[in-house]
Each structure stands twice: as C-alpha cells, then as structure tokens.
Amino acid sequence: GDSVTQMEGPVTLSEEAFLTINCTYTATGYPSLFWYVQYPGEGLQLLLKATKADDKGSNKGFEATYRKETTSFHLEKGSVQVSDSAVYFCALSDSYNNNDMRFGAGTRLTVKP
C-alpha cells in the first residue's frame, strides 16, 4: 500500500541555519504530496503541497519539489527561525487508493537562538 517515510528526528538547528527534512514515498498511482506542520498543542496545518511531478510547493520560506524519479519530496528552508520550531509531517493523497491521506512519522525541529 501507499506509504511515506521521512527523516527521523529530532533535528536541532541554530537560527539562520539551512534546513532539510527528507521525505520519500511509495504510491500506487499519482499522488499529491504535502507537508504539514504541527505547533505545540495544536492540530496539523498545511504548510505546502505539490500535485504533480516537478511541481514546487512553497510557503513561509519553505520549499519542496515533487521528484517522481526519486519518489521524494524533501522539505527545505534556507534560514530557519526560532518560530519554526514544530513537528513537520510529510503526507500523500492518492486517488488510486481512495484518496486516503497517509502521513510520515513526523520530524521534530527545534531552532535555538
């Protein structure tokens, strides 16, 4: 079945450092890919998405490119801030698999001043 594998955390960075969180997927069809963010005590919020190969999703300085050849959707940010500290989830939704939303295990990011 469809699945998402993402880099295990926790990840600790200093402010203004470069961030990469790796995400790879397996899917039956042609899924849409997502990154969600969860701040402490809150639900998951959509951060960015990409619906087809080579699409780049971006939001709040975060970017991820849908790479079909490597089945990857790595999250990047050039300069992280303390306020980016949260748990990040990679996810997919596959219309060939009844559109259920599958999530990775989550990666906890802590940014220190």
80: DSSP letter = -
User: Of the two residues 29 and 113, which places its CB atom closer to another protein in the complex?
Assistant: 29
Nearest alpha-carbon partner for 11 in 113, 110, 112, 89: 110
Q: Give the interface size with another protein as a residue count (CB under 8 A).
A: 24
Residues 46-75: x/- map of binding to another protein (CB under 8 A)?
x--x-x------------------------
Q: Which residues, in sequence order, are CB contacts of 110 under 8 Å at separation 6+?
A: 10, 11, 12, 13, 85
List interacting residues with another protein (CB under 8 A).
Answer: 31-32, 34, 36, 42-46, 49, 51, 89, 91, 93-95, 98-103, 105-106
